[in-house]
Amino acid sequence: MDHDHMHDMPPPSSSSSSMMNNGSMSGGAGGQQQMMMMHMTFFWGKNTEVLFSGWPGTSSGMYALCLVFVFFLSVLTEWLAHSSLLRGTTGDSANPAAGLVQTAVYTLRTGLAYLVMLAVMSFNAGVFIAALAGHAIGFMLFGSITFRKPPGDRKTDAVPLSVSRYQPFEGVKEGVSPR
């Protein structure tokens, strides 16, 4: 972007100036037009706006609620990203209803991911850390091998102890008992 010619740009309209915060700018026609500027660098502090105008405001409790909300939004995004509904492993792949459910889950996950992205775009360091922590915990719980059950680790697949001690004779296929 050519910043040398930005002074040639017209001032923002009144509708776009209501979307910004913290600052002022001289407007056209000799009048003073208030324009709020948003942060474009990371900052620490509870006085921020995240996702909605005026939220969380200046209250420490509402800021803490905002951080918890962003954290759980990130965990939910990871859960949906790794759910069997999204992978399509829950049933018949040729079923149109299953395809619609898969599409709905994908759309929901994408929308939640965009909400997390917009929250991080507040440039508040606390919100950024809450989003990262939520994605990390969500991936650890639902996507990593740490808490994933091995495919053969089911009670119905358990081999009786007497059979598991069986050592096949040389030349005999494993799993086939000799006569």
Looking at the domain assignment, is residue 129 inside a domain? Answer: yes
pLDDT tens digits, 102-116: 899 999 999 999 999
Its domain, for residue 112, covers 60-88+95-147
Looking at the domain assignment, is residue 137 inside a domain? Answer: yes
What single-letter amino acid sits at 108? Answer: L
pTM tops 0.75, yes or no: no
Looking at the domain assignment, is residue 83 inside a domain? Answer: yes
Looking at the domain assignment, is residue 53 inside a domain? Answer: no
Looking at the domain assignment, is residue 79 inside a domain? Answer: yes
Looking at the domain assignment, is residue 82 inside a domain? Answer: yes
pLDDT tens digits, 1-53: 444 444 444 444 444 444 444 444 444 455 555 555 667 888 898 888 898 88
Burial 111-148 (b: 16+ CB within 10 A, else e): ebbebbeebbebebebbbebbeebbeebbeebeeeeee
Number of domains into which the chain is organized: 1
Looking at the domain assignment, is residue 5 inside a domain? Answer: no
Residue 44 contacts residue 30 (beta carbons within 8 Å): no
Looking at the domain assignment, is residue 72 inside a domain? Answer: yes
